[in-house]
Amino acid sequence: MVEKNLCTGCTACVAVCKTKALKMIVDTEGFKYPVIDKSLCVNCNLCEKVCPAKKRISRDKFAEVYCGYTKDKNNLLSSSSGGIATHFAEHCLSMGGVVCGCAMDDNMYGAKHIFITKSDDLDRIKGSKYLQSSLDDVFLRIKEYLKNEIKVLFFGTPCQVAGLNEYLTTENITKKNLILVDFICHGVPSPLVWEKYLKEEEQLNASKAENVFFRNKSSGWKNYSLLINFSDGSSFCQPVTENLYLRGFVSNYYLRPSCYHCNFKKENYYSDLTLGDFWNVEKYAPDCDNKSGVSLIFTNSTKGSRFLSLLNNEVTYKKIDFDSAIKSNPSYSYSVKENYIRKHFFSKLKRKSVLKLLNRYCSDRFLSKVIRKAVVILGGN
Ligand SMILES: Cc1cc2nc3c(=O)[nH]c(=O)nc-3n(C[C@H](O)[C@H](O)[C@H](O)COP(=O)(O)OP(=O)(O)OC[C@H]3O[C@@H](n4cnc5c(N)ncnc54)[C@H](O)[C@@H]3O)c2cc1C
Ligand code: SF4
Ligand code: SF4
Ligand code: SF4
């Protein structure tokens, strides 16, 4: 099995194991990893063969890239970026297919992949959830849909898409009815940190969270906010510059270890389409800058190009220069760096309040103290 710090938790090995010798088990940081029951293992080696954690694919050519956004104002304001994902999903449903994407659990403490068959339910998977989602038996169910010739659109992180792709290849399942869509990925935070954080916010607000939006646009697309609506009718909305959970996420305190050495960057996207935020739109395509959310859309395959062309009526988009697009979003090409605080953070997490920890780590006083210490260690003065 691949080294723990490279395992993305994609579940391909668990899905491929015919003897059920592998199970996904949560570790102390809150991430799921495959664990083997040796008494059930028949040494077939399929789990090693399927694992995408170190594989490279070679594409014929680099992706083409477009910038774009939905023409539907409501969709734009309720999506994380340019609202393109929802139109992809609608097209798949209109062809009689099913859509698999990430939704919050009913209690809001976790995220998981679910299947959608009606457009009325698409809101459940709309928007970025800033925690790792559980896949459970999703790959097995997708295999069954494809065997029955039903179209499937799968949205996920690049590592989940790679895992699904490798699983279906190993199982000899034709992918002609499958569309794979991923996104430029900063990394996924620990579900345990999110659960602790939300429970503490619920305690402070003396009310249960009813729904959560990680990319609310009320203070802008770029200065997005975490919005929590509580069951007593109150709500909590804080922009990324102030919210402790979002600050910890963008500061890389509690991402999955594999996110610091991600194998799914540059030419190693397994998807047909990759979506992302066009953060520097005002510099590279000012005529597209709607201020409410503009996406980058990479077409990585002919199937992806054809699928994008179906959106002509719903989406405004135009081709842009590849280098400008990736310059505006370094996570397309590179993994983020592990924060030096990470180990300390997780060592304290079990016993301490996550809000207190984040308050301490995110405070300027703490950071300057650590930086002063680092300067001394490195021999500065
Ligand atoms: C954890 C995470 C990190 C990201 N990092 C970056 C980044 O560094 N740079 C960048 O440009 N864009 C990043 N994105 C993608 C970006 O936020 C938008 O989701 C993307 O641009 C598509 O926007 P949209 O408006 O078209 O669709 P949206 O309505 O945002 O939907 C996109 C799809 O993403 C899926 N999804 C949401 N959360 C998860 C999750 N936790 N795991 C798997 N699938 C999920 C949903 O199924 C949904 O269908 C990230 C997203 C996530 C979830
Ligand atoms: S070697 Fe085969 S039987 Fe053993 S865990 Fe891996 S897939 Fe399962
Ligand atoms: S297949 Fe996926 S879950 Fe299994 S070891 Fe490899 S990366 Fe981890
Ligand atoms: S950064 Fe890489 S390893 Fe981490 S969730 Fe994203 S694609 Fe997977």
* pLDDT in single tens digits along all 381 residues of the chain: 899 999 999 999 999 999 999 999 999 999 999 999 999 999 999 999 999 999 998 766 668 999 999 999 999 999 999 999 999 999 999 999 999 999 999 999 999 999 999 999 999 999 999 999 999 999 999 999 999 999 999 999 999 999 999 999 999 999 999 999 999 999 999 999 999 999 999 999 999 999 999 999 999 999 999 999 999 999 999 999 999 999 999 999 999 999 999 999 998 999 999 999 999 999 999 999 999 999 999 999 999 999 999 998 999 999 999 999 998 899 999 999 999 999 999 999 999 999 999 999 887 655 555 545 544 443 333
Question: Residue ranges of the alpha helices (H) in 206-350?
Answer: 244-250, 281-284, 302-309, 322-327, 342-349
- For 374, other C-beta atoms within 10 Å of its C-beta total 11
In a shared domain, residues 45 and 156? no
Does the residue 158 lie in any domain? yes
**CB-based contacts of 373, cutoff 8 Å, min separation 6:** none
Q: From the CB of 51, is ligand 3 less than 6 Å away?
A: yes
Does the residue 222 lie in any domain? no
In a shared domain, residues 155 and 278? yes
Does the residue 202 lie in any domain? no
Question: Of the residues 291, 309, 332, which one is the last residue of a structural domain?
Answer: 332
Q: Which protein residue's CA is at the shortest distance from atom 8 of ligand 2?
A: 17
- Identify whether the C-beta of residue 212 lies closer than 8 Å to the C-beta of residue 218: no
CA of 10 to the centre of ligand 4 (A): 10
In a shared domain, residues 42 and 101? no
Does the residue 180 lie in any domain? yes
| For the CA of 276, the nearest ligand | 1
Tokens representing 343 are 């180990």
In a shared domain, residues 33 and 142? no
Domain span at residue 35 reads: 4-50
Looking at the 3D structure of the chain, how many domains does it have? 2
Q: From the CB of 375, is ligand 2 less than 6 Å away?
A: no
